[in-house]
Chains A and B, each alone.
Chain A
């Protein structure tokens, strides 16, 4: 009862904030009435910005209309520079997933190795410490030069930025498996492989999943920037293309959509984390 009412009250506050924001936005960008009299033909040419005192910034209603338009036809394809936002998102998500999954295939085993072997942990530490703080986009020229394919380069950038949080979290989770659980395995003469899968993996799974959640968040942040650079397709390219078209409405729509997809990805990983978390 108490929590339900808290959720309810929070929802009311959220809606109130959203409404005030939209109202403020609307008021700030609406037209202030006729500011200049001119010939109707000329006025049409000049647009509402000049004639009605309308801000160049689109209002919430313009964005809402645009969003609705996109949602109604998400997958149209009118050539390279005019694709539905659904198609662009699909490109971005596909790149993120490919790069991310490849990164997981590397990060989790390597993290396991680092976590289990103090030698490898010490030996690999300097490499990780140097590579980790590099902005993923700094790899882009090198990737373009060596891979010679812009789309693959974007995937590579996603790969490299997804790697570190998962690797570090896996290593930490594996290294901090409780000694008593390992002793249980030892006294039961459990072999190395079985121990890795039946003791270390379930014990470290919550930490690993937390790393994976951070990774997918970073991957989704980076894909937009990467696609702005490589161009062609994807939601990042869409944003930049619409900026070149000076269609701020489309840019805002895309920002909103990027946020929603990011939230969805995070939600999926949060769910998975909950599945493997155990109460102590």
Chain B
């Protein structure tokens, strides 16, 4: 990771607990992402995935630590970082093109109405909604609504796309199509994407790296799975790749059991700045140096590699 386009540096998030004291959602999280990289975060509910995403979006602030994007610390929301919401969050009183145009005119405030409309139209066409421009969200199916959400996010030409379980509310078929679309669009535009998901297959299909979180409260980033599948993958073929099952099993094993016991298993030798980078299928896990190159690789935390 020489190119640290996004650098999450030791962020934690704590809330005041109802009975006094504080609840820590997750703590001391270090992660960096390269330009054009697609990273998925997987973890059980309550591990603070959405909070991490909200902090990246600038909608929430970390209790400790900072996030640096393209050399600048995040201070609130920015048009450089587009969010695709789980609930699509379209404005129901605006049409499809109205929703996209709202984002476009927020980014380029001096554009004429015609310029805004033309730019919005380009992205509506890109997500395959040509012909539905003047429909209102209530007239669209769930998949179409999420397409509008994607078009809206892409239309502001952000540096990063943040997706909060964007496909979880969709049926399996629509989800597959939209995953293909997102993959195509992100590759075409070279987007950097941070996505939260519950779906292991979705993560393997889309991501370059998959970040595994332990269970909350007090969740930590347990390890990073380097996706061994080639970058060029297709929906029909990716699950036939020889390393597919090794990857899938590794993630599922983690989610089923190790996400609970991870901290105990490391025996107090967990180093949040140097988490294991696992390449399923290879014998030895690599240890990433995410922050401090002089820090000694921590052998005690070797994750069970397949």
B91–A202 CB distance below 8 A: yes
Main secondary structure of the interface of B (DSSP, over half): loop
Q: Given A183-B83, A279-B138, decide whether A188 and B106 contact each other with a Cβ distance below 8 A.
A: yes
Q: Given A187-B57, A187-B59, decide whether A280 and B92 contact each other with a Cβ distance below 8 A.
A: yes
Cβ of B82 within 8 Å of any chain A Cβ, yes or no, is yes
Cβ of B282 within 8 Å of any chain A Cβ, yes or no, is no
B192 → chain A closest CB, angstroms? 16
A161 → chain B closest CB, angstroms? 30
Compute how far the CA of A36 lies from the CA of B137 in the bound complex, rounded to whole angstroms.
77
Which residues of B from 68 to 100 have beta carbons under 8 Å from A? 76-79, 81-83, 85, 87, 89, 91-93
Cβ of B103 within 8 Å of any chain A Cβ, yes or no, is yes
Interface range on chain B: under 10, 10 to 19, 20 to 34, or 35 or more? Answer: 20 to 34
Cβ of A41 within 8 Å of any chain B Cβ, yes or no, is no
Compute how far the CA of A198 lies from the CA of B103 in the bound complex, rounded to whole angstroms.
12
Return chain B residues, CB-CB under 8 Å to A15. Answer: none
B58–A278 CB distance below 8 A: no
B168 → chain A closest CB, angstroms? 15
A198–B102 CB distance below 8 A: yes
Return chain B residues, CB-CB under 8 Å to A19. Answer: none
Q: Given A188-B156, A189-B77, A189-B106, decide whether A183 and B59 contact each other with a Cβ distance below 8 A.
A: yes
Return chain A residues, CB-CB under 8 Å to B78. Answer: 187, 189
Cβ of B107 within 8 Å of any chain A Cβ, yes or no, is yes
Q: Given A187-B57, A187-B83, decide whether A278 and B102 contact each other with a Cβ distance below 8 A.
A: no
B59–A186 CB distance below 8 A: yes
B77–A187 CB distance below 8 A: yes
Cβ of A102 within 8 Å of any chain B Cβ, yes or no, is no
Write the residues of chain B forming the contact surface with A, with a CB cutoff of 8 angstroms.
57-59, 76-79, 81-83, 85, 87, 89, 91-93, 102-103, 106-107, 136-138, 156
Return chain B residues, CB-CB under 8 Å to A276. Answer: 93
Return chain A residues, CB-CB under 8 Å to B76. Answer: 186
Q: Given A180-B87, A278-B92, decide whether A188 and B59 contact each other with a Cβ distance below 8 A.
A: no
B79–A189 CB distance below 8 A: yes
Compute how far the CA of A220 lies from the CA of B102 in the bound complex, rounded to whole angstroms.
40
B91–A181 CB distance below 8 A: yes
Cβ of A199 within 8 Å of any chain B Cβ, yes or no, is yes
The 11 sampled A-B contact pairs (Cβ below 8 Å) are: A180-B89, A181-B91, A183-B57, A184-B85, A187-B57, A187-B77, A199-B91, A276-B93, A278-B136, A280-B92, A280-B137
Compute how far the CA of A202 lies from the CA of B82 in the bound complex, rounded to whole angstroms.
23
B89–A190 CB distance below 8 A: no
Compute how far the CA of A198 lies from the CA of B91 in the bound complex, rounded to whole angstroms.
10
A188–B92 CB distance below 8 A: no
A280–B91 CB distance below 8 A: no
A144 → chain B closest CB, angstroms? 45
Return chain B residues, CB-CB under 8 Å to A184. Answer: 85, 89, 91
Contact with B along A149-187 (1 / 0, CB 8 A): 000000000000000000000000000001011011011
Compute how far the CA of A107 lies from the CA of B93 in the bound complex, rounded to whole angstroms.
24
Picked from B85, B93, B106, B138, the residue with its CB within 8 Å of the CB of A183 is: B85
Known: A180-B85, A188-B103, A202-B93. 14 other contacts (CB 8 A): A183-B83, A184-B85, A184-B89, A186-B77, A187-B57, A187-B58, A187-B59, A187-B78, A187-B81, A187-B82, A188-B106, A190-B106, A202-B91, A203-B93
Write the residues of chain A forming the contact surface with B, with a CB cutoff of 8 angstroms.
178, 180-181, 183-184, 186-190, 198-199, 202-203, 276, 278-280
Q: Given A187-B81, A188-B156, decide whether A278 and B106 contact each other with a Cβ distance below 8 A.
A: no
Compute how far the CA of A276 lies from the CA of B92 in the bound complex, rounded to whole angstroms.
11
Return chain B residues, CB-CB under 8 Å to A278. Answer: 92-93, 136, 138
Compute how far the CA of A188 lies from the CA of B90 in the bound complex, rounded to whole angstroms.
13
A258 → chain B closest CB, angstroms? 36
Compute how far the CA of A98 lies from the CA of B180 in the bound complex, rounded to whole angstroms.
60
Q: Given A189-B79, A279-B138, decide whether A183 and B89 contact each other with a Cβ distance below 8 A.
A: yes
Return chain B residues, CB-CB under 8 Å to A190. Answer: 106
Compute how far the CA of A278 lies from the CA of B94 in the bound complex, rounded to whole angstroms.
9
B152 → chain A closest CB, angstroms? 8
Compute how far the CA of A187 lies from the CA of B87 in the bound complex, rounded to whole angstroms.
15
Residue of A nearest to B153 (CB): A187
Return chain B residues, CB-CB under 8 Å to A202. Answer: 91, 93
Q: Given A180-B85, A278-B93, A279-B92, decide whether A188 and B107 contact each other with a Cβ distance below 8 A.
A: yes
Q: Nearest 6 A-B pairs (CB), nearest first? A: A180-B89, A279-B138, A188-B106, A278-B93, A186-B77, A278-B92
Compute how far the CA of A189 lies from the CA of B83 in the bound complex, rounded to whole angstroms.
12
Return chain B residues, CB-CB under 8 Å to A188. Answer: 77, 79, 102-103, 106-107, 156
Compute how far the CA of A69 lies from the CA of B156 in the bound complex, rounded to whole angstroms.
67
A160 → chain B closest CB, angstroms? 32
Return chain A residues, CB-CB under 8 Å to B83. Answer: 183, 187
Return chain B residues, CB-CB under 8 Å to A186. Answer: 58-59, 76-77
B145 → chain A closest CB, angstroms? 11
Interface centre among B76, B85, B87, B106 (most CB of A within 10 A): B106
Compute how far the CA of A279 lies from the CA of B93 in the bound complex, rounded to whole angstroms.
8
Compute how far the CA of A203 lies from the CA of B93 in the bound complex, rounded to whole angstroms.
8
Compute how far the CA of A278 lies from the CA of B91 in the bound complex, rounded to whole angstroms.
10
Residue of A nearest to B57 (CB): A187
Q: Given A183-B83, A188-B107, decide whether A280 and B59 contact each other with a Cβ distance below 8 A.
A: no
